[in-house]
Amino acid sequence: MTAQNTIVVIDDESQIRKILSITLEAQDYKVIEAAKGKDGIIAVANYHPQLVILDLGLPDKDGFSVLADIRTWSSVPVIILSVRDSEDSIVKALDLGADDYIAKPFNTKELLARIRANIRRVQLIDNESIVENGNLRIDFVKRLVYKNNLELKLTNTEYLLMQIFFKNIDRILTHNFLLKEIWGPTHTEDTQYLRVFIGQLRKKIEDDAANPKYLITDSGVGYRMMAVGN
Amino acid sequence: MTAQNTIVVIDDESQIRKILSITLEAQDYKVIEAAKGKDGIIAVANYHPQLVILDLGLPDKDGFSVLADIRTWSSVPVIILSVRDSEDSIVKALDLGADDYIAKPFNTKELLARIRANIRRVQLIDNESIVENGNLRIDFVKRLVYKNNLELKLTNTEYLLMQIFFKNIDRILTHNFLLKEIWGPTHTEDTQYLRVFIGQLRKKIEDDAANPKYLITDSGVGYRMMAVGN
DNA sequence: CGAATTTATTTACAGCGTATTTATAATCTG
DNA sequence: CAGATTATAAATACGCTGTAAATAAATTCG
């Protein structure tokens, strides 16, 4: 069981840790601070936090390996802190399974909103076997997807994709991440697979496949299922 | 959180420190004085002031490196004190992320007004994930910009620029600063990039792109987003 | 088991959108 | 006014995406 309202902050800069602690504690989160990546990993293992904030500028060794390590045994949501001009590191972190990112210097309200959103997503999925989004619905137990209450005929791969998207609504899923999840760690070059399957899915789930509102492209990065209202 | 109403003054001239202290304390600011750059950095780290006043004429460490140091871990507003004839050092300080500058000998009323303005800007941004200016609005969480409540279609680079401008309303952002923030530390020569993108943004956000009221040019220095009333 | 059918993988290509570069006109500043 | 700076449009370059269609593999079913 995860510890309610506990957040682990992994950052080598004590100033930023302090600012984050004060900000988060004011919102009644319990904060565990770690200055080094190794300590951060141990803290996540011991405290089972509800969320992790990880600064990519760690000197100890790079934040990526910390994230990769955590991801081998935990699906706790991880928000990345990074400098603005490092688009590449953001994508690399998302590839490894980071849930969200925020650029330094960050704005407090934005950070809090992202924390809430990421915690909410995990709670939603953990407790539901059926999830709705717009006029779509997925049943994780029966492994079926419906559009306007009509069952869609999906192939196995198509269903796997839908499952991942429904479990990560509003989260950017990188090409690499999706390929690893579905085709395993070897096919990270085969982005074209994704294009073909995304295209097929759009034909089935979108009202207008040429102007998708569910499966959105983040050019150069990946795809994302948008939350759609009713 | 930052310490309310606390200002750190970094200046090697005890006369000026004394004048500043008396002036600021009369306005109910708490003042921390530092004579040397190193002490100033430590003071900022320990007290988390709401604002910093930094004299560029420091002997021990030169003022620029003090500013650069602080900027690696803090976005606290920094007002530069400098002698009147040093246009170059002002631009250099703004490049490094100074928020404002004021020439010695300074006029008390003007100094207080600038202090208030710089504190206000940070408070405004820090407490909102949505910021309005005139008929524009930015949502830092959804990463969207609106004009008259209509979503604008911005490219990634255009959005990054808008984000920086909205986080720094009324502050002059130098070419170098903007180029570093968006294209990284290598492209500091490519001012033409900025001209092209600023032009594109004006077409999208201004009512009359030829007479901009949001994105103002400071010829030879940089650009600035003006606060616009409703 | 083998043919028919579905699904996955590959190949090919057209088109779009964006960043960058170039060229030139307009404007600003001292 | 002269030189520097800025604005604007247009051209270019290029990567990425989406679609279709061909081939291969897997699955279904009589």
B192 in contact with A, Cβ within 8 Å:
no
The model's confidence at residue A59, banded by pLDDT at 50, 70 and 90, is low
User: Does residue A60 have a pLDDT over 60?
Assistant: no
Q: Considering only CA atoms, which residue is closest to the C1' of nucleotide D4?
A: B220
Choice among A1-5, A17-21, A89-93 with the minimum mean pLDDT: A1-5
Residue A177 tokens, joined: 């991440």
Contacts of B205 (CB under 8 A, 6+ apart): B136, B145, B147, B152, B162, B214, B215
Distance between CA B65 and CA B56 in Å, rounded?
10
Instruction: Please give the average per-residue pLDDT across B10-21, as a whole number.
Output: 95
Helices (H) and strands (E) in chain B, counts: 8, 12
| Contact residues, chain A, for B184 at CB < 8 Å | 85-86
Give the pLDDT of residue A186. 84
Confidence bin at A92 (pLDDT 50/70/90): very high
Asked if B140 and A108 come within 8 Å (Cβ–Cβ), the reply is no
Alpha helices (H) in A26-155, listed in sequence order: 37-47, 63-73, 87-95, 108-127
Taking the C-alpha atoms of residue B115 and residue B119, their distance in angstroms, rounded to an integer, is 6
pLDDT at B60 over 90: no
B184–A contact, CB cutoff 8 A:
yes
Nearest-5° Cα angle at A121, A142 to A154: 30
Segment B155-180 mean pLDDT: 96
Task: Pick the closest to residue B142 from A114, A215, A19 (CA basis).
Answer: A114
In 3D space, the residue among A22, A68, A24, A69 whose CA is nearest the CA of residue A50 turns out to be: A24
> What mean pLDDT is predicted for residues A134-159?
95
Q: What is the C-alpha radius of gyration for chain B, rounded to an integer number of angstroms?
A: 18
- Whether the pLDDT of residue A78 is over 70: the answer is yes
- For the ranges A56-65, A102-111, A163-172, B30-39, which has the lowest average pLDDT? A56-65
Q: Tell which of A109, A171, A218 to mutate to test the B interface (max B CBs under 10 Å).
A: A109
Strand D nucleotides with an atom less than 7 Å from a protein beta carbon: 4-10, 15-21
3-class DSSP state of B12: coil
CA distance B96 to chain A (A): 14
Is the predicted pLDDT of residue A205 greater than 80, yes or no?
Answer: yes
Q: Which residue has the tokens 């407490």?
A: B127
Closest residue to C26 measured CA to C1′: B210
**Which one is predicted more confidently, A65 or B230?**
A65
pLDDT at B1: 62
Percent of chain A with pLDDT over 70: 98
Element (H, E) at B91: helix B87-95
Is residue A31 scored above 60 in pLDDT? Answer: yes
pLDDT digits (tens, 9 = 90+) for A6-18: 999 999 988 889 8
Contact A165, A181 (CB under 8 A): no
Residue A3 makes CB contacts below 8 A (sequence gap 6+) with A30, A47, A48, A49, A50
Q: What residue has token string 């910390």? A: A66
Has residue A28 got a pLDDT over 60? Answer: yes
H or E, element range at B159: helix B156-166
The shortest C-alpha distance from A24 to chain B (Å) reads 10
pLDDT band at B85 (very low <50, low <70, confident <90, very high): low
Q: Given pLDDT bands bounded at 50, 70 and 90, which one contains residue B94? A: very high
Q: How far apart are CA B50 and CA B65, in angstroms?
A: 20
- Between CA A87 and C1' D7 the distance (Å) reads 29
* Number of inter-chain CB pairs under 8 A, A vs B: 44
- Stretch among A72-76, B70-74, B219-223 having the lowest mean pLDDT: B70-74
Tokens coding B226: 């003006």
Most confident of B67-76, B86-95, B143-152: B143-152
Q: How confident is the model at residue A37 (pLDDT cuts 50, 70, 90)?
A: very high
pLDDT above 90 (res A106): no
Instruction: Characterize A50-87 residue by residue with b for buried, 16 or more Cβ atoms within 10 angstroms of its Cβ, and e for exposed.
Output: bbbbbbbbbebeebbebbebbeeebebbbbbbbbbbbe
pLDDT over threshold 80, residue A162:
yes
Q: Which pLDDT band, with edges at 50, 70 and 90, does A221 fall under?
A: very high
Q: Which of A153-162, B155-164, B182-191 has the lowest mean pLDDT?
A: B182-191
In B, minimum Cα distance to A18 occurs at B1
What is the spatial distance, in angstroms and rounded to an integer, between the CA atom of B199 and the C1' atom of C19? Answer: 14
Average pLDDT across chain A, whole number: 92
Token digits for B80?
């530069």
CB proximity list for B12: less than 8 A, separation 6 or greater: B35, B36, B55, B57, B58, B59, B60
Nearest CA in chain B to A26: B1
Looking at every residue in chain B, the average pLDDT score rounds to 92
- A22 and B45 within 8 Å at the Cβ level: the answer is no
- Asked if residue B74 has pLDDT above 60, the reply is yes
Contact B1 A113 (CB under 8 A): no
Supply B45's token pair.
């780290």
Contact at CB, A85 and B45, closer than 8 angstroms? no
A18 near B CB under 8 A:
yes
A32, two tokens: 């565990």
Chain segment B118-138, per-residue pLDDT in tens: 999 999 888 889 999 999 999
Find out whether B49 and B8 touch, Cβ atoms under 8 Å.
Answer: yes
Residue B207, token pair as written in the block: 């009512």
